Structure 1
Amino acid sequence: MCAETEPTGQVAPANPRAPRNRPNRAMRPYSLGDTPQQLPPPPPVFVNRSRELTTISDKVGATRDGRATVIVLSGLGGVGKTAAVLRWAHRHLDRFTEGQLYVDLKEYRRSGGVELTEVLGGFLRVLGVREDYIPAPFPERAAMFRSRTMTKRLLVVVENADQAAQVRPLIPGSADSVVLVTSRRKLGGLITEGAEFIDVSPLDVSDSEILLGRMLRGHCEPNERGVTDLAELCGGLPLALCVAGAQLAQRKQWSIPHLVRYLTDDRLRLTRLSPDGEDGVRLMFDAAYGELPDAAKRTYRLLGLHPGSQFALATAAAIVAVPAADADELIGVLLTSNLLEELGDDRYRFHDLVHLHARAVAGRDETAPAREEAVKRLIAWYARAAALADRAVMGAARWRVADFADSPDDPDFDKASAMTWFSTEQSNLLAVVHESWHHELFATVWQLCESLWAFYYNMKVYSDWLETHRLGVAAAVRCGNDIAQARMRNQFARAYIELRDFESADEQLSRGIEAASDDMRSEAVILESRGLLYRELKRYDESEESLKRARELNRRLGSERGVAIQSYQLGDVLVRAGRIDEGLRVLAEAMEIAEGIHDDLSAAKARIALGNAYHHVHRLADARSVLDSAVRTTRDHQQPVKEAQALEVLVKVAQQGNDRVLLHDSAARLVQLYEAAGSPLVAVAKGLLADESI
């Protein structure tokens, strides 16, 4: 048996006249008085599973309540449930002095269900009951089995159960016995039998590499190039790892990098991990899919069209086109079948290989128009949610090109929950932009990019920012929407400014102003970005001129928010240019305007610039006051980049004022923020903490 895999075998055809004494472990002839020893051998190669093995031992050793211990190990087909059970069983054979019984219910499965009558007959024979005394009716056999096992210390292993009712008759009558059940389903109904439940998850990458190394002794070296990639492609599924290992063992001329290339194609990976004539990965998943009710099958394959492996309940409801309550029930069926994993907070995840399978059956069992409509529903849902999250973070008053109308079914975001949603859905949002482009939904592409500004700008997700906005610019051009093009080029340029690629920023702003033509709002935002570009180039006079022009346009447009933003940017430029008093005055005006329109984030940004100006003129108490306020606001609104900016100035204030407590507290929080963001500045912050002079 392949390492860490479950036994496989051809399911016998449904035939009510099939002979009763077909060869099977549970049906082997035993002499009366023999101790049944039906367990298959332990897996030849085994890795980890210490959690599962320890849990089984703990549950077996727990106080008994007068009935047998029942433990259900559930998980994906091929995840290694049987390997864990057999590993534990062979380690503890001395516990079960009167033997072990074993049955793989897959061998007894018929179109009408599982032939438990035959299973019980086999068990009774090996327990010493003569054939003539075994009753024919199922209830009588079940009663005889309980009676016959009432005083015995037995281990019963039941493989591939898919209903609780298939297990109950096979539970011995003795409280000293243990029943270990493997199933692709949760079998929650066995809770009435006092059952304990263990979820068996795929191996992590490290254990996958160890398993591959043990299977391929002589074929690969430890840490050989490609082993990690191969482990990841197999998704930690022992069955897939076994198949991959077998392919390398059979094809001596193949290297591991060659096999990695062979399995990299998502469209072919399942087939290539399912050799002809064997129960490979695809057939395991086909079996689980085939057992689902029709509505759950449709849910499974439509969810397979989701571009990411994780999704929320609301997303599932949108793509399947059912109310949330119905989606919850359908997802429950997939969870019970271990085809989905629950992450909490109404979020779910596909195993990578299961996701490939779900997408494949969608291509096979759904029509092209049905797939297209499902993907469009998904894209529309994300576009709507992103627009709502953007409004929660940046405020409804911010100018946007995309039209928007409220709906009573909209999710209820506040600023913090919107930023959390953006962070949680980051990879999905990137994928949805690409899906929108692929489906030629060009207006949706640039509208998504406009909404994603709230996340990218505040969290500095530069790689996603650049990738999406390349498409956003091209999409706006495809749509012939000059104002949208100007918007996209402006947002694109801001990423380049922050990355200090000033040449690319200048190119985007120049082309953006051409597209804007006579649109005053577009001209104002591009002038603002021009001002920031000149600021970074230390061309302060040109920066001042651009920002003043942008501020004047916003005054004419009646945008107080725009006036506040350009005012604190202008004040910052004046401070940098050495015109401190003038800069302080403009910054104070900006803060007052932002507070007047209840724009907390703009007010916080003004306070950061104001705190820096106060630091320059040694007004340390004033600096600390405005910066403390900025830290609280940015933290409350989950704006870690802006919080870090405020803390960086606070560190300077603390050093200037020799305030050791403030320096330590600010540096400690900076360490947390930098570590969360993966910033190289974490070493600098840690150095401040380690400085004994603090």
Structure 2
Amino acid sequence: MADESYFRNTFHSEITNLIQAHVIQMRAPEPPKPMEVPSPPRHWVDREKHLEEIRRHLTGDDTSPLVVHGPAGSGKSALAARIATQMTEFYPDGQIYIDLDADDMLSATRSALLRLGIAKDQLSDSFGGLLAHFRSVTRDKTVLVVVDGADNAAEGLHFRPGSVLSGLLVFALNAAPDPSVRHMALDDLGIEDAARLLLKLSADGGSASPELPWSDLLREYGTRPSAIRRLAGLIRARKLTERGDYGEILTDLLEFPTRDLLESTYRTLSESAAWLYRLLSVLPSAEFENSILKIFDSQGTSSASAFQELVNAQLVTTSRPGWYLVEPSISRDAARRAQGTMLPVELVSAMRSSLRWYLKRAQLADRAVMGDRLRRAPVPEDVECPGFDDAAEALTWLQSNHTSLAAAVGMAAFHGWHDEAWGLAEAMWALYNNVAYPDEARRCYQTAVESTKKPVDRARMLLFLGRVQLDLAEYASAEDSLHSARNIALAVGDRELEGSAVELLGRAKHWQGHYDEAIALYEQALFNALEGGRSRAEGIQLMYLGRAHRDAGRPERAVEYLAQALDVFVRIEDGRHVLLVETDLAVLKAGLGVPGAEDEADEAIMWLRRAGLARHEAEAQERLAEGFHGEDRRRRLEAALEVYERISTAEARRVRRLLG
């Protein structure tokens, strides 16, 4: 047995304080009352009977979901926003908004759980596990879940909350008959209501005679709310730029009707507004922050006045405080073109500036989340953007913009702006290290690898790619990426990059069960860390050496290495790794029969649970089970299974087999 000096008394005051401080820091931000449904539109007509029917359903005894279905542009999102505003007091725990038009179902479920304060390590690796976790998290809440943008109602019905006091509203294009669900069809507006809405939208605080031929115009263009909004935008744009009165504009539209309202509105804009609209339409996302507008002032146009012209024409609308939305049907097509075809020359310079804005904003978020870590990409000095107050705000921004940021990497790479492409990918590690988007991360770093020109930058991106491939259990691809990174690091003499590559190669061997090969690689990485004076890297290598010896069946050697790792992490005040190593030591001591070790292991597991480190919690319970028989073994395996059922379908299935 190892020397007893390795079996220190765990959780003395210094270590407990370190762990507690870090647990407090690492917990995911949980909003006390999420209010996620977008603000309702300013102008509203009709739909009162729909609102009243939804209110009666939500406040009545019927707990079944309500599905509102109708064609695109019929006003489903506006109805969702309106009812959510009216039902605020009825749902004291807030609203959860899931937009399936912006995210696939897996990403949307994962994102909702993260916004509810669930740590990344607690998230399942399967869609079914995520949904089960969603039901569990909402079991003790009274929330309104609003699912918008569904193609079919069946998609939204997956998000039924766990509490009977909660409500579920699904807004979908189509809905199959289902006796367990209430249905409501949303059609076009009646001609009189449509005319009132068109009058309100066209005048928007001004004066326009209701005696003008509004109804005749709607018989020509239709009464669907989306068509009314676009028609109003065209009328407002023409009134602003042509200085005509409403009567002349409406008469002209009746005599010379146009089918493409968006194109006609665009052609009515001033030159500066048209230029700005084209640029906004090729941003990585249809939704953008108002602070990005500052970068366009240097492009030879007055962005403030041009932007107001776009708002007046309703080509840009407010989506939430400080955020705007470009007309979706135009912006999505434009964004796809920006990633797949070359832009007109007049947009190229301005578009690169906008991507550099996204780069700098992501870099500032990265620094707020990750603190001091190795970074190679410089921060742009030619653009201005706001920073972040704390890590929680920064991570929330990264998460809510992850699709836009990933698109920006692809856009920059396509247009040959290589520094922006790989620099943005480097900053996004703050997101991918904390939020599970492995497939997106792999695509991002594959693009980034091809975008680098300097060998040392390429090695850095290969490390990120290899790490993501390990998470996806793509071991052969991961080892190829990591060997390439190591060879580059050796060629350029970068010992830190070399050490990182060797460490990850060790993990690849370790996770595949090749323990002696892993130990040899970890020893190389430890030597590199000691030579470079990098204490945290030293502690990590000692920890992995201890785990590799443990998994190879050499617990005494494992204890020696883990005790050394603990000394390093306590010295540098790395609370998270102190907790992980203390847990490993306590479990090992229990397996070796050290008196009191089982109680210490249970205390460590309690701290893991508080920290949200679910996978480590389950692994500790399962390793403890190996040292027991009978009912004690079963109890430990059942505790591991309870955690695995939330986070890993494969691991849960394996533990169920162990339980028989």
TM-score bucket (shorter structure): 0.5 to 0.7
Would you say the 8 A contact 1:624–1:650 is kept in 2?
A: no
Which one of 606, 612, 631 corresponds to residue 628 of structure 1? 606
CA distance in 1 between counterparts of 2:468 and 2:583 reads 21
| Alignment correspondent of 1:252 | none
**Per-residue displacement from partner, 1:362-399 (whole Å, max 9, x unpaired)?**
99xx9944411222112212222222333333331x22
Q: List aligned pairs for 1:403-414, cutoff 5 A.
A: 403=378, 411-412=387-388, 414=390
CA distance in 2 between counterparts of 1:336 and 1:56 reads 32
CA distance in 1 between counterparts of 2:215 and 2:583 reads 62
Q: 1:464, CA displacement in angstroms?
A: 1.8
CA distance in 2 between counterparts of 1:574 and 1:542 reads 11
**Per-residue displacement from partner, 1:68-91 (whole Å, max 9, x unpaired)?**
xxxxxxxxxx9357xx99xxxxxx
Distance 1:299 1:614, change over 3 A: farther
Q: 1:315, CA displacement in angstroms?
A: 3.9
Would you say the 8 A contact 2:641–2:652 is kept in 1?
A: no
Would you say the 8 A contact 1:303–1:319 is kept in 2?
A: no
| Alignment correspondent of 2:73 | 79
| Alignment correspondent of 1:501 | 474
Would you say the 8 A contact 1:615–1:653 is kept in 2?
A: no
**Per-residue displacement from partner, 1:326-356 (whole Å, max 9, x unpaired)?**
87x9767655654345443533434531315
CA distance in 2 between counterparts of 1:595 and 1:167 reads 71
Distance 1:649 1:686, change over 3 A: closer
| Letter of the 2:368 counterpart | A
Would you say the 8 A contact 2:622–2:640 is kept in 1?
A: no
Would you say the 8 A contact 1:386–1:452 is kept in 2?
A: yes
Distance 1:296 1:402, change over 3 A: same
Q: 1:662, CA displacement in angstroms?
A: 10
Q: 1:437, CA displacement in angstroms?
A: 0.8
Which one of 361, 367, 387 corresponds to residue 385 of structure 1? 361
Distance 1:587 1:331, change over 3 A: farther
Q: 1:539, CA displacement in angstroms?
A: 2.0
| Alignment correspondent of 1:67 | none
| Alignment correspondent of 2:263 | 286
1:524 aligns with 2:506: no
1:647 aligns with 2:647: no
Distance 1:408 1:615, change over 3 A: farther
CA distance in 2 between counterparts of 1:182 and 1:158 reads 12
Distance 1:163 1:589, change over 3 A: farther
1:54 aligns with 2:92: no
Q: 1:440, CA displacement in angstroms?
A: 0.9
1:514 aligns with 2:487: yes
1:456 aligns with 2:432: yes
Segments of structure 1 that go 5 or more residues without pairing to the other structure are 1-48, 60-77, 86-153, 172-178, 184-198, 203-236, 241-276, 636-642
CA distance in 1 between counterparts of 2:583 and 2:292 reads 38
Distance 1:349 1:561, change over 3 A: farther
Q: List aligned pairs for 1:339-418, cutoff 5 A.
A: 339-344=315-320, 346-356=322-332, 368-396=344-372, 398-403=373-378, 411-412=387-388, 414-418=390-394
Alignment TM-score, normalising by the size of structure 1: 0.52
| Letter of the 1:468 counterpart | C
| Letter of the 1:346 counterpart | G
Distance 1:596 1:165, change over 3 A: same
Would you say the 8 A contact 1:493–1:506 is kept in 2?
A: yes
Q: 1:157, CA displacement in angstroms?
A: 4.1
Q: 1:528, CA displacement in angstroms?
A: 0.6
CA distance in 2 between counterparts of 1:659 and 1:320 reads 68
Q: Whose RCO is larger (CA < 8 A, sep 6+)?
A: 2
Distance 1:359 1:533, change over 3 A: closer
Q: When the two structures are aligned, how many residues end up with a matched partner?
A: 440
Secondary structure at the aligned position of 1:620 is classed as helix
CA distance in 2 between counterparts of 1:461 and 1:611 reads 32
CA distance in 2 between counterparts of 1:53 and 1:424 reads 34
Secondary structure at the aligned position of 1:459 is classed as coil
Q: 1:359, CA displacement in angstroms?
A: 6.8
Would you say the 8 A contact 2:587–2:624 is kept in 1?
A: no
Distance 1:367 1:464, change over 3 A: closer
Distance 1:55 1:603, change over 3 A: same
**Per-residue displacement from partner, 1:119-144 (whole Å, max 9, x unpaired)?**
xxxxxxxxxxxxxxxxxxxxxxxxxx
Would you say the 8 A contact 2:546–2:559 is kept in 1?
A: yes
| Letter of the 1:497 counterpart | L
Would you say the 8 A contact 2:413–2:447 is kept in 1?
A: yes
Alignment TM-score, normalising by the size of structure 2: 0.55
Distance 1:661 1:338, change over 3 A: farther
**Per-residue displacement from partner, 1:583-603 (whole Å, max 9, x unpaired)?**
234334434433443444444
Would you say the 8 A contact 1:528–1:566 is kept in 2?
A: yes
CA distance in 1 between counterparts of 2:436 and 2:450 reads 22
Would you say the 8 A contact 1:650–1:663 is kept in 2?
A: no
Q: List aligned pairs for 1:47-126, cutoff 5 A.
A: 53-55=49-51, 79-80=73-74
Larger Rg: 1
| Alignment correspondent of 1:446 | 422
Distance 1:685 1:579, change over 3 A: closer
Q: 1:525, CA displacement in angstroms?
A: 1.0
**Per-residue displacement from partner, 1:587-634 (whole Å, max 9, x unpaired)?**
34434433443444444554565566466557332223333334444x
Q: 1:467, CA displacement in angstroms?
A: 1.5
CA distance in 2 between counterparts of 1:667 and 1:580 reads 25
Distance 1:654 1:352, change over 3 A: farther
Q: 1:292, CA displacement in angstroms?
A: 5.9
Aligned-residue sequence identity (percent) comes to 20
| Letter of the 1:646 counterpart | H
